Amino acid sequence: MTWPIIIVAALVTSFISGIFGMAGGLILMGVLAFLLPVSAAMVVHGAIQSVSNGWRAILWHRWIDWRNLGLYLVGSAAAAALLFAFMIRLPEAWLFIVLGLVPALLWLPLKRFALDARKTSHAVASGIGVTGLGIVAGVSGPLLDVFYVTTDMDRRTVVATKAATQVIAHGFKIAYYIVPALAAGALAEPYWLLAAIPLAMLGTTLGGQVLKRMSDIQFRNATKWIVTVIGAIYVVRGVLLLTTG
């Protein structure tokens, strides 16, 4: 039953990501970490989210901030090179805990930090931090949002640009985990993953229709609360794994 569950999760979470840009990826990572070994969960998550984010970037390509994307890529490549040198991997319990703590970033007094993805140094820093956290924890959407939440960018520009940056981050994540995942035999039935691709595209398209009907205020408030609740559940799951084995 593992792969049918993953396929359904790909559809549902891609729909959520199509609306909020990151909550779906957080949910999907938790589902995969529960069903698969960590390395396989990272690869499958990266593949599905690359399709979901890539399709979303195509649908909203007119709104992508290409300058920001280029600067992000510089930082992203630097972070990936550093992690490839040390090969850091978290056990399942700590993966859930770190994954659950990531949404707490959205509650920081962001105006005090004045982070802005449109600034050159901040865009590069977002590439370093987001890709680094994405490789270690699997998901880094809330950290990426920290660089956008205090800007006055249109929600469509936010979703489109974030989608494009996440394709880059997930690509590095797949490259980081693909060898141990294959060595463990956890991807012995890749044809199931192919079935998830059109559903991820469908979910993203449907989610985009909902996004069009939301205001910028509704978009930001809903995103913040959804990922926070999900994060709390993951922290509890991780602590239980540590205490009960």
Total number of domains in the chain: 1
Is the Cβ–Cβ distance between 141 and 26 less than 8 Å?
A: yes
Q: Tens of pLDDT along 143-175?
A: 887 888 777 788 889 889 999 999 999 999 999
* More confident position, 191 or 93: 93
pLDDT at 1 over 60: no
pLDDT in tens, 33-70: 888 888 999 999 999 889 888 988 998 899 999 999 99
Range of the domain at 137: 2-244
- Higher pLDDT, residue 215 or 165: 165
% of the chain exceeding 70 in pLDDT: 95
CA angle 236, 238, 240 (to 5 degrees): 70
Q: Mean pLDDT in the chain?
A: 86
* DSSP state letters, 61-82: GGG--HHHHHHHHHHHHHHHHH
Per-residue pLDDT, 171: 96
Interval 185-213 mean pLDDT? 79
Q: pLDDT value at position 115?
A: 81
Q: Which of 29-33, 97-101, 122-126 has the highest mean pLDDT?
A: 122-126
212: pLDDT confidence band, cut at 50, 70 and 90?
Answer: confident
Q: Name the 3-class secondary structure at 197.
A: helix
* pLDDT over 80 (residue 22): no
Report pLDDT for 111: 66
Are 117 and 123 in contact by the 8 Å Cβ rule? The answer is yes
Give pLDDT, residue 74.
Answer: 97
CB-count burial class (<10 Å; 0-12, 13-18, 19+) for 118? middle
